[in-house]
Chains A and B, each alone.
Chain A
Amino acid sequence: MNGLTTPDLVQMLAAGLFSIGVFGVLSRRNLLIVLMSVEIMLNAVNVSLVGFSREMAHLPQGAAEGGQVLVLMTMAVAACEVALGLSILIALFRHVRSVDIDTPRATLLRN
């Protein structure tokens, strides 16, 4: 742990959170959990951006605040994405009565 500073700790936390999200997206078959994993990945990016913003807080006006504004934009995009994703999920569930992404009737769009 020599030479590991607090900013690096935050970035590594963000990297770990992102990897957990990747694991969730790739391993789970429940569409609800897959959407949650995508949210976890978006959150990891937010953590990373806030960390970078804090690192640059001493720079002249506007260098650090851009990162914070970007985090707010990411949150707005995430909210839109969840609303659309969940309504697609409900529409899919109406058709195939399942939230399993590998159920035979749900894979019609793939090929």
Chain B
Amino acid sequence: MSTLLIILAGVVILGAALLTVTRRNPVRAALCMLLALAGVGALMLGLRSPFLAAMQVLLYGGAIMVLFTFVIMLLTLREEEMGPEPSDGSKLGAACMSLLTLSVLWFGISRRGGASYEAPRLGEDFGSAKHFATFLYTDYVVAFELVTVLVLAAVAGVIVLARAPHRTSLERTKLTAEHPEEHA
């Protein structure tokens, strides 16, 4: 049952991820990626991590993909603003590099042995929010606090980057002279 779910989710994830990296239209790529992320959520459910599955859907499907879609809609890219299609040579090179990565990882995975999910005493609450929080707020509380600092730094960085470009007073005077009704 669990293996079947994992195989099914794997097919969906790999297919959707392949579509994501090959679509030209960014909206279609974002929708395919949403499917891939939902598949990862289902996979996490199959691996007995319901809390992480919920976080996957909330954080990735909810927050990150909405941000992507928002930016895509905000920019409304025209064809020439997306740049030309990558050349066949660069696609071939990228495919070679990714196959090399895959073969190295595959080699490592195939050489390890003895892994199984036949846990003799797997607690009923393994992966639940309560069990998870017990560890997050005791053993890993320092990491948790450090992540809050990271989020604060990211917020500050985004505000600095998103601010309108600073105009000198001379440019502002010029703009006011050209379009007096807008800058009144």
Contact = CB atoms under 8 A, between A and B. Distances in A.
Interface in A66-111: 66, 68-69, 71-73, 75-84, 86-91, 93-94, 97-103
Interface of A: 5-13, 15-30, 32-33, 35-37, 39-40, 43, 46-47, 50-51, 53-55, 57-58, 62, 64-66, 68-69, 71-73, 75-84, 86-91, 93-94, 97-103
Interface residues of B, number: 88
B132 A68 contact: yes
The 4 closest A-B pairs by CB, nearest first: A100-B83, A24-B21, A26-B94, A27-B94
Contact of B165 (A13, A62, A66, A94): A94
Contact of B67 (A33, A83, A102): A83
Contact of A86 (B14, B44, B71): B71
A23 B14 CA distance: 13
B69 to A, nearest CB: 10
Given A6-B117, A40-B21, A87-B158, A23 B98 contact: yes
